[in-house]
Structure 1
């Protein structure tokens, strides 16, 4: 599967071998998937990787292959985009959870094509799962940042780079959920390993406005030149909450945003994308 904000993956159960269980990770060179592969190898799995395919058809192609191979469980990377775009208010007292679904008609009306693609892909996956008695678990990470394993820059980490490289004097008037890539990778593996895992899982450590993000970075790195005003001059877009109850039920403990930001910036320095 392909993602715009972060590259996606599927984790599928294979057969047992003398070396341990075999797992296939699609899109294995992507940002999230490369961490999934690393953690699987660290746990002793044999990992097969495949290249990515886009959109709805890519998801269904993977599921059809899994059905033919008698795979028991598939963990699918979706996005919070398939959760939150439904017209419901998102204010500080609102808690988004796994019962929220984005509405395709609303996505079309507002020409949110990425959101629409993630929403339709998930709908298609659940329908295929029901029609073919294939067990799936769907993971919904938000903006994924943290250390880079690959030498290339992905879109979600680039958001942080654009805040710290002096390219703009303004920051976006928006609130995002944020999460560490290592937590997202581990959550996929737990969803595969824990027998009781089922349904959908939101993976969000915290929702903060870009203003708060700038404040956190400024406190850690006072010598970095950061944007000093909001881009459009309108009142600040409100933050909201995302429930972590279900993802924690798998045994996942999410890394605090402050540590994730520091890991992201240090990784950008290490990979040569940024220098103080």
Structure 2
């Protein structure tokens, strides 16, 4: 491992109050790192108080206000850091900004982050939280699917996707273009000696440190067949039609994978991050068998049966071990949804 003494290592996490970002901050603090975390608004008391309440936050956490839409706001947070995790991503467009749309903002954001890392003179590696929506096995001519899913695939943004909407199309485009942009700064690219890693994560499930609109949207997708949430279910089907099946991964594994990529000096470039690759019908049937007290409509139990192999082994080949399988991911989503009061038992 590259890092032998985490207590002397300083890292930055953008989007530190988000679903993945907050868990990553927590884990990094637990492991002894000093963390610079950025938030869009330091006056958001709920998010600020949550981060300040984490163990060791009083001595090793520094909060910074920074928005992807505002150039150079990340410079202070990144200055003096050894590693940077770029987790933040724009989900709502600011009409008054210099960017025309969310894709431009996402690309501009990764450029600003990458340049801040380079100009800092201290950052060794930049790890970007990407998404598997950027790695579709759909053939470029739209004639069907390739028989595998791995890091060599990129989503063709010219294809019409099933169950698509403007927000889904916008998110897919922004994450695909931003990942390609940030990879161009790696090593021999625009970044000189900067090492860049992109972790294209599947649909992320598990417990959440706090509730927000974006985190609850993710949860709603996982439990859409239990709540009969049509729009959330169509998002699940969109992911299935885009990626062949639905790559899923637990937030704990996602955060451990980020830290693994930081600590391992041999890791650069692009990696897919998902422990399971399942169909929407398989998810619905799991719920039916294991949660009979909650109604699952029969229409959710059937779906496309595609023989596409999850062929991404790059992380595992480097020594990373996933701790959470399909059952554990879905069970944790149900557990959290119950805690939040989102699931109702069926009535006779």
- Which one of 245, 248, 269 corresponds to residue 338 of structure 2? 269
Counterpart of 2:249 in structure 1 is: 179
Deviation at 1:230, TM superposition (A): 4.4
Question: Taking structure 1 as reference, are residues 236 and 86 closer, same or farther at Cα in structure 2, changes over 3 Å only?
Answer: closer
Q: Secondary structure at the match of 2:35?
A: strand
The alpha-carbon deviation at position 50 of structure 1 amounts to 0.7
**Rounded Cα–Cα distance in structure 1 between residues aligned with 2:5 and 2:260:** 20
2:102 maps to none
Of residues 146, 149, 154, the one that matches 1:96 is 149
Deviation at 1:251, TM superposition (A): 2.8
Deviation of residue 250 (structure 1)?
Answer: 3.5
Is the Cα–Cα contact under 8 Å of residues 139 and 203 in structure 1 kept in the other structure? yes
Aligned mates of 1:243, 1:250 — CA distance in 2: 15
Displacement, 1:149? Answer: 1.3
Deviation of residue 17 (structure 1)?
9.2
Q: For structure 2, list consecutive stretches of 5 or more residues without a partner in the other structure.
A: 40-66, 69-89, 91-105
Separation (CA, whole Å) in 1 of partners of 2:300 and 2:4: 54
Listed as ranges, the gaps of 5+ residues in structure 1 are: 1-12
1:22 aligns with 10
Residue 113 of structure 2 corresponds to residue 43 of structure 1: no
Distance 1:107 1:215, change over 3 A: closer
Give the count of matched residue pairs: 257
Q: State the shift of 1:145 in Å.
A: 1.0
1:4 alignment partner in structure 2: none
Higher relative contact order (CA 8 A, sep 6+): 1
Please report the RMSD computed on the Cα atoms of aligned residues, expressed in angstroms.
2.9
**Rounded Cα–Cα distance in structure 1 between residues aligned with 2:112 and 2:248:** 30
Post-superposition shift, 1:132?
2.1
- Structure with higher Rg: it is 2
- Structure 1 equivalent of residue 291 of structure 2: 221
Equivalent residue of 2:199, what SS?
strand
SS in 1 for 2:22: helix
CA distance in 2, matches of 1:188, 1:242: 20
Q: TM-score, normalised by structure 2?
A: 0.66
Match among 172, 175, 178 for residue 121 of structure 1: 178
- TM (normalized to structure 1)? 0.82
1:83 shift after superposition: 1.4
Report the alpha carbon displacement of residue 181 of structure 1 after superposing the two structures with TM.
1.2
Partner of 2:224: 162
Query: Aligned pair 1:236/2:304, yes or no?
Result: yes
Distance 2:6 2:207 in 1: 33
